[in-house]
Amino acid sequence: MANESSRLSARDWALAALKAIADGGLAAVAVEPLARTLGVTKGSFYAHYRNRDELIEAALTEWVRSHGEGGLVEFAAIADPARRLRELLTAVVRAVQPLAPSVHLSLLGDRNDPRVGAAVRQVNRARLELLTHTYQELGLPADRAADRARIAYAAILGLLHLAQTDADSPNPAALSEEVAKIFLPA
């Protein structure tokens, strides 16, 4: 059994917890079912975490890292703001899969948990800052850029919600062009 704890990293457990969160919110994060999913015993878990709360903290930290600023680095590096916005919107729309669970949307059900609220605010802030900055670079004044960023972000979250609840969601490739037409300034 010593081998199994070295086989899985703390990050492996955090990623498994994120999948559980996407499927069922914080309530779905339970050590025994995660151990079964990962094909190990609970001992592997305790080699990395003292308790479930530590795992939830690690999962939320991983989500913030991969979906907040850290997940936006490649887009922020695109110098041309129109290209940046188009690639960002296209990537988001193409990532939307019909009936696929979403960590972000699942976390909203647990938004009153202070840890969840803080994580969602961090991810939202990073995404809105990049969108706002991009719209400013495209020539919108600061207040309009912030408004446009919020509307675009709300539409993105809405598309995630529709995809999660509607098996007949349109093909993401078909949506990409429409999203670009709507949210890229003419």
pLDDT mean over 132-144: 96
Q: What is the pLDDT of residue 158?
A: 87
User: Is this structure's pTM higher than 0.85?
Assistant: yes
Query: What is the C-alpha to C-alpha distance for residues 121 and 180, in angstroms, rounded to an integer?
Result: 25
Q: What is the pLDDT of residue 170?
A: 66
pLDDT mean over 150-164: 86
Report CA 88 to chain centroid distance, whole Å: 13
Q: What residue segments make up the domains of the chain, in order of their start?
A: 2-59, 68-183
Give, in words, the CATH class of 2-59. Answer: mainly alpha
Range list of β-strands (E), 47-170: none
Contact 57, 115 (CB under 8 A): yes
